[in-house]
Amino acid sequence: MSTHNDMTTLSPFAQEVALTLNQRPRQLPTHYLYDNLGSALFDAICHLPWYHLTRAEEGLLKKYGGAICSFCENLGEIIELGPGSGAKMQHLLRGRRHIPNQKPHADNGNDGEPPSLDIHLIDISAAALDEASTRLESCENTLVHCHHCTYQEGLRRIAGETREQPSTHRRLALMLGSNLGNFSPQDSQNLLQDMSRILSPGDYLLLGVDLVKEEDALCLAYNDPLGLTAAFNRNILQRINQELGANFAQNTFAYEVIWNSRAERVESYLVSKVAQEVSIPGANMTIQLKAGEALWTESSYKYRLQGLQDMVAQCSLYARQSWVDEEAQFALFLAEKVT
């Protein structure tokens, strides 16, 4: 049971909280997990031994960064959705013979140096943007533009800038870290379409995706023995408490993970241990939770290469190359805009 009033006067965060908590099953907006504390917790998770995908992706970027950049002739612009610390893109820049720890400048006319590069970072986490921009501004001949907004809004801004001043160079759009897997199939398809719209024929899209694998390995990656992933998910309750005046008691929620083999996704839940009433003044609502009732916090979809080819083909993108780690757990997937 829940009560709520007119949502038109609510903040975007409050609107999404109200909308998702009124769904069945009840949900919470995944992208709001990444406030400053959430981003720090996620960065710590990426270094855990059970969370394989960060190390697998890093190894692939180090090994094949040069090969990836060789596809993109006359590359002058990189757009990354969810840059994290900026380390992933930095591996690509090194593959392009950029040298870290030098001051950026907008253009250069010196033979033998990499051409200047505009970098657009899109993220709702200000802390992540600050860290990534600081790291990437130390690379040679880069100019970093930060877009503190949702992915869709950032892509709309860049699309508007392109209409006003058409590009004469190649673009590379990035979505790494299996970030695409945080979206439902329909939402991920829509996001791929949005990315395709900012690309011209001859531009490229690079995805980093986690592949379907054994259930035990997947569940351990999303429910580590140290409890960091549980803390990361519970943090959204604390954020709702702080920003919307709610009274969620984090210790009354258990963290659970399941592998949905039919949908090929890992599902994360916060399960109420007791029957309880939660008031959320900032969202004009109160909810009644039964003992054992779950709040769905995350879905992490896993992929097969053929499925990715089919997805990008619907967005006028042609699969050009994929690189898979030695354990066949993670892939970098490169596609070219064709029409």
Distances (CA, A) of 44 to 125, 226, 313: 16, 11, 35
Which residues, other chains included, contact 168 with Cβ-Cβ below 8 Å and sequence gap of 6+?
76
From 118, 96, 98, 97, select the one nearest 107 (Cα to Cα): 118
- With beta carbons less than 8 A apart as the criterion, state whether 302 and 211 touch: yes
- Token pair of 128, please? 């992540």
Edge-first strand order for the sheet with 317-324 is: 142-148, 117-123, 75-81, 170-175, 204-210, 330-337, 317-324
pLDDT score recorded for residue 314 = 97
259, burial (CB in 10 Å: exposed 0-12, middle 13-18, buried 19+): buried
From 57, 68, 45, select the one nearest 211 (Cα to Cα): 57
pLDDT score recorded for residue 99 = 35
Amino acid symbol at 277: E
pLDDT score recorded for residue 115 = 66
Cis upstream peptide for 25 (omega within 30°): yes
Q: What angle is formed at CA 310 by the lines to CA 305 and CA 313, rounded to 5 degrees?
A: 120
CA 318 to chain centre: 22
The domain limits of the chain are 2-33+218-301, 52-213+303-337
pLDDT score recorded for residue 95 = 80
pLDDT score recorded for residue 44 = 94
Taking the domain 52-213+303-337, which CATH number applies? Answer: 3.40.50.150
b/e sequence 266-290, b meaning 16+ C-beta within 10 Å = bbbbbebeeebebebebbbbbbebe
pLDDT score recorded for residue 101 = 36
Query: Which residues sit opposite 77 in a β-bridge?
Result: 118, 171
3-state secondary structure of 135: helix
pLDDT score recorded for residue 116 = 84
Dihedral of the alpha carbons of 105, 109, 115, 120, in degrees to the nearest 10 = 30
Cα separation, 30 vs 32, in Å, equals 5
Distances (CA, A) of 22 to 59, 247, 282: 42, 17, 15
3-state secondary structure of 186: helix
Enter the pTM of the model: 0.87
- Residue 207 dihedral angles phi and psi, to the nearest 5°: -115, 140
- With beta carbons less than 8 A apart as the criterion, state whether 84 and 41 touch: no
- pLDDT per 10-residue tile (average), the chain, 339 residues: 58 95 96 89 94 95 92 90 91 69 42 74 90 88 92 93 75 96 95 96 97 96 98 98 97 98 98 98 97 98 97 97 96 96
- With beta carbons less than 8 A apart as the criterion, state whether 286 and 21 touch: no
Cα separation, 230 vs 39, in Å, equals 14
